[in-house]
Structure 1
Amino acid sequence: MLRDFFLGTIKIHRLYHASKEPIYGSYMIEELKNHGYDMSSRTIYPTLHQLEEKVVCGRIRMYYTTTESGNNLLRAWRQIRELAEEVLYENKE
């Protein structure tokens, strides 16, 4: 269950960055490495292919952006974050 949770947070992280600007695989590998995840290209690219809208920029990279469905998912994730913050920080006030 914990593994599924972490994989889910990695997907949300990827979705978040794609909502800000087009992303590509090696960028996300480095970004996740900055957060302590050691992801291989064999792991990251299948998750990137799940993004529906693709824009080819030259012949070198595929850039990925969020769809409206992805943006809706991010809005829902923010509601989950608010609940998690309430639970995690309940006794700190």
Structure 2
Amino acid sequence: MTDRDLYAGLIRLHVLHHAAGAPIYGQEMIEELAHHGYKLSPGTLYPLLHGLEKKGYLRSTQAVADGVRRRVYRITPKGKRAFAAAKTKVKELFGEIFHDDGSAS
């Protein structure tokens, strides 16, 4: 397993986090994730977005902004419920990870 495999779930949660706040689109998420050290290509991110949509966590529509046609993703009620449950699990896990000595080692 590569380190990248460990981050797949975190990336999905990051996407849902942003979609819960406002509609998102692919290039925007590539740039946002890059700010956090994730280097995703469109060939990686778009299948991830399509997978989240197929599972019912996101819904997409076509939109035109400044003459550019984009697929815009919005979180669904199912996505909101799943994200809320995931936040609880992540909080519990992070508490365990950082509880012992306060470091990430």
TM-score above 0.5, yes or no: yes
| Structure 2 stretches lacking a partner, 5+ long | none
2:25 equivalent in structure 1: 24
1:70 equivalent in structure 2: 79
2:59 equivalent in structure 1: 53
TM-score for both structures, normalised by structure 1 = 0.86
Q: Once structures 1 and 2 are overlaid, which stretch shifts more, 72-81 or 24-33?
A: 72-81
Deviations 1:51-74, CA, capped at 9 Å, x for gaps: 241121126101001111111111
Aligned residues: 93
Q: Distance in 1 between matches of 2:94 and 2:33?
A: 22
Letter in 2 for 1:55: T
Pick the structure with more strand per residue: 2
2:14 equivalent in structure 1: 13
Q: Distance in 2 between matches of 1:48 and 1:91?
A: 35
Q: Helix, strand or coil for the counterpart of 1:60?
A: strand
Q: Helix, strand or coil for the counterpart of 1:49?
A: helix
Letter in 2 for 1:56: Q
| Structure 1 stretches lacking a partner, 5+ long | none
Identity over aligned residues, as a percent?
34
Q: Cα–Cα, structure 1 residues 73 and 5, in superposed 2: closer, same or farther, change >3 Å?
A: farther
TM-score for both structures, normalised by structure 2 = 0.77
Q: Deviation at 1:85?
A: 2.8
Runs of 4+ in 1 over 4 A off after TM superposition: none
Letter in 2 for 1:29: I
2:41 equivalent in structure 1: 40
Q: CA RMSD in A?
A: 1.9
